[in-house]
Amino acid sequence: MKVKKVLFIFVILIMITTILGCKISTKTVQVPQKEDPANEQPINNSPVAEEKKEENRTGEYNRFDRISGFAGSVEELSMVGEIDDQLILAYTPQGVSKKALLMLVNPDTLSVEKKLELKGDFEYCDIKFAGDKLIVLLKNKIVVINTHLEQLQDVPLPKVIIEKIDRKSSYDEKGTSNIFFGGYDVSKDLTKFVYIDETGVNLVNSIDKSEILLSKTIKFKDYYFIEPKFNTQDKKVIATMVEYGCALGYTLFDIEKGTIKTIDINGAIYPNIFRYDTGMLMVNTHIYDKKNQIDEIKTLYLDFKFGELTEIKLEDTGETGDIIDDSYCFVGQNFASFITYKWDENENANNMFYINRLDLKTLIIEPQIISIKAADTRIIGVLNDGRIVFSYNFNPREKGVCVTKQAKRN
């Protein structure tokens, strides 16, 4: 299922993408600069510990020239899980001529231990880490792969979901779609499916073929759901509530208890890429206070297990005029990381990027553990022990992939 990535979008664009069975996020893919082969420098992939202040970088981390055994662009890499102290990285390049990869990578050496080539039209947020396996969500089926990167099986989608995806579009006199598909997800044991259409959020049991409407769409023309995701050991489902290009909030459905909890936000659509069952972090997101009719900037953490929304105070927010890119934030199993930044309007060479770490147990922030000047910076992933894998690109001759030190828990 192709994911369309956008920033501020009008509702008609959202409707079009969701009809196509797409999920909405805001990933911006950087086009890597080409190097002149004649000017290439020898590659050093031995870890280089950098613990003192460099000209453009500060912090404690091991730096590598690149990921050994991987020749693609790191701008199109993302961590999808961790198994036996190895990173599971997904390479999902744009372009029909490029092939997607899953890779097991040693975080101590940043070398590829194993890789598996994948076929199909999907992106990294369509890859679901399910403990002992990986699940790839496609438009017509599910591909199940074990964590040793051996393809196990193809699982057909329920007929009702395929029929919903394949429906032809129709529009009313105002140009609004009467037919809508807001995405689907599958439980880790492959027995339950959740999907969204114009009726609402629907739960399908693939064993007994039963179907339950978890929540009916209210005032479909103005308010609807998108992007359903199982979480909390598949006991809950979260879906985004959208109105005219803005996220009204999120709805948590407790399948076992049969309860519904709504988390009101009234902000811009946020890149909600859920990799783990832990929660969702929204950094410097714009929240509209209807009562006072003002726009507020807040950093919020939504805990999936308890359904609690907590505001996290940032001492230094950095710039707040942009919707944060999804490569600027990663929520892992025990820790999350996010990037804040400051622009120099007169000189781009003075732009600063700061990598921060959040303990998901205590919600205590380690601010600005890494600072990088002028270079495009992105987070690839966060390990269970708090190590952050990130890349920076100052120019074709000055770039690298780095792994921070482990987090220290009291």
Residue-averaged pLDDT of the chain: 83
The whole-number average pLDDT for the span 144-155 is 91
**What pLDDT does residue 44 have?**
55
Instruction: Give the torsion through C-alpha atoms of 63, 69, 74, 78, to 10 deg.
Output: -100
User: Structural domain boundaries of the chain?
Assistant: 43-72+276-410
Contact 307, 252 (CB under 8 A): yes
Stretch (H or E) spanning 309: strand 308-311
Is residue 273 packed enough to be buried (19+ CB in 10 Å), middle (13-18) or exposed (0-12)?
buried
Distance CA 270, CA 280 (A): 10
Distance CA 168, CA 19 (A): 9
Q: Which tokens go with 380? A: 């690839």
Q: Which residues pair with 330 in a beta bridge?
A: 337
Q: Which residues pair with 356 in a beta bridge?
A: 338
**What pLDDT does residue 294 have?**
82
**What pLDDT does residue 188 have?**
95
Q: What is the pLDDT of residues 268-297, one digit of tens each?
A: 555 567 888 899 999 998 887 777 888 888
**What pLDDT does residue 286 have?**
82
Alpha helices in 351-402 (DSSP H): none
Is the pTM for the entire model greater than 0.75?
A: yes
CA 249 to chain centre: 17
**What pLDDT does residue 5 have?**
37
